[in-house]
Amino acid sequence: MEEKKDIKSMTLEEISADFRELGLPRFRAGQVFRWLSRGAEGFSQMSDLSKELREQLSEHYAVRGVEIVRKQVSQIDGTIKYLFRLFDGEHVEAVLMRYHYGISICISTQVGCKMNCSFCATGKSGFSRNLSAGEILSQVQSGSIDIGERVSHIVLMGMGEPLDNYENVLRFLELATCKEGMNLSMRAISLSTCGLADRIYDLADRKLQLTLSVSLHAPNDEIRSRTMPVNRKWPIGELLKACRYYARTTGRRISFEYAMIAGVNDSDGCARELAQRLKGILAHVNLIPVNDVTGTGYKKSGIRRQRRFVEVLQEHGVTATVRRTLGADIEASCGQLRRKHEGGTGHEGCA
């Protein structure tokens, strides 16, 4: 039997074209697309379609979303961490946070990751596969259905490297912002990358109003190559060239993530070097005290070191803030739940 098509990853135009071939009227495509955009888990829920049509569609298409298998709610700030199961038994995580401007969800783009940053829990469990656009989208819908509220902001900063799953991530962006569908604003979506420079150029040329975050975490190649293997392929000079191009082409400010690791990248000298490197780029630095990950031996920088680092950056004309930690009591950082669930050691994580 021919494999069923993944209809959740299809655009309205693609569904319409398919349905035309099946001899179905155009409005049917709109109906089905709206159901999918609202998070329907299967055709059986699409109550305004006849039983025959639902059966016909389920012969051709699969609705592949995500299923909540575990949920932790922070007693401190209400942050929710989800563990989702995918159709093939794989797991990914997402974290939903409440801010004054709305509800934001941090979602995964891959099961595991190939990038192997030395401080990150996700890379330690290896890489299984890319998520489909529908699976990425479904994390947002599941969170929203679970809390009964609209999610206004999306952060592609969970498990995986979004630009290593470029096609599906772009498709996800198209689906998430589709007027007839979820209708999210591109400005309310952030994509975080460890720095695949070639893809940053590609993304820039699309001229999306997306917010780009770059995980820099070091001011020079010596430190960065030690902590982030991707730097051996795309050194800082190349990466920042791509960032300059991105900022120039899109007019959008880039946010640089910088996890402060005691004694590794948090000296005054590092701050000065960082400021030097970022000169002339429309940028903001987000400092994050590194999260403990078992086996790395890294410790977060103390509060005084964090403040001093911000001061030095500001003295050199770079704006920076220390990111507030949410969900501290539920280890609201990626990589931990999946590892625990699949037999890892547990206490580890990222931002």
Taking residues 145 to 164 in sequence order and writing x for each that binds ligand SAH by CB under 6 A, - otherwise, the string is ------------x---x---
**Residue 351 in the binding site for ligand SAH (CB under 6 A):** yes
Strand 110-112 relative to strand 127-130: parallel, antiparallel, unpaired?
A: antiparallel
Q: Stretches 53-61, 114-122, 177-185, 302-310: which one binds ligand SAH (CB under 6 A)? A: 114-122
Query: Rounded to 5 degrees, what are φ and ψ at 79?
Result: -55, 140
93 is known as an active-site residue: yes
Catalytic residue, candidates 41, 93, 161, 348: 93
**Residue 194 in the binding site for ligand SAH (CB under 6 A):** yes
Q: Stretches 50-58, 76-84, 112-120, 134-142: which one binds ligand SAH (CB under 6 A)? A: 112-120
Residue of 97, 182, 189, 350 interacting with ligand SAH (CB under 6 A): 350
How many residues touch ligand SAH under the rule CB under 6 A: the total is 18
Distance CA(78)–CA(41), nearest Å, equals 26
Taking residues 293 to 312 in sequence order and writing x for each that binds ligand SAH by CB under 6 A, - otherwise, the string is x-------------------
Residue of 259, 270, 283, 322 interacting with ligand SAH (CB under 6 A): 259
**Neighbouring residues of 201: CB distance < 8 A, sequence distance ≥ 6:** 242, 245, 246
Residue of 132, 291, 301, 336 interacting with ligand SAH (CB under 6 A): 291
- Of the pair 93, 161, the CB lying nearest ligand SAH is at 161
* Size of the chain in residues: 351
Q: Rounded to the nearest whole angstrom, what is the least distance from the CB of residue 242 to ligand SAH in the complex?
A: 14
131 SS3 class: coil
Cβ–Cβ < 8 Å for 277, 312: no
**Residue 336 in the binding site for ligand SAH (CB under 6 A):** no
Residue of 125, 142, 168, 192 interacting with ligand SAH (CB under 6 A): 192
- Of the pair 138, 215, the CB lying nearest ligand SAH is at 215
**Neighbouring residues of 105: CB distance < 8 A, sequence distance ≥ 6:** 94, 95, 96, 97, 139, 140, 143, 144, 151, 153, 154, 155
151-176: string of b/e by CB count within 10 Å (b at 16+)? bebbbbbbbbbbbbbbebbbbbbbbb
178 is known as an active-site residue: no
Q: Rounded to the nearest whole angstrom, what is the least distance from the CB of residue 336 to ligand SAH in the complex?
A: 10
DSSP 202-241: HHHHHT--PEEEEE---SSHHHHHHH-THHHHS-HHHHHH
Q: Supply the residues annotated as catalytic.
A: 93, 334
**Positions that interact with ligand SAH (CB under 6 A):** 117, 119-120, 157, 161, 192-194, 215, 217, 257, 259, 288, 290-291, 293, 350-351
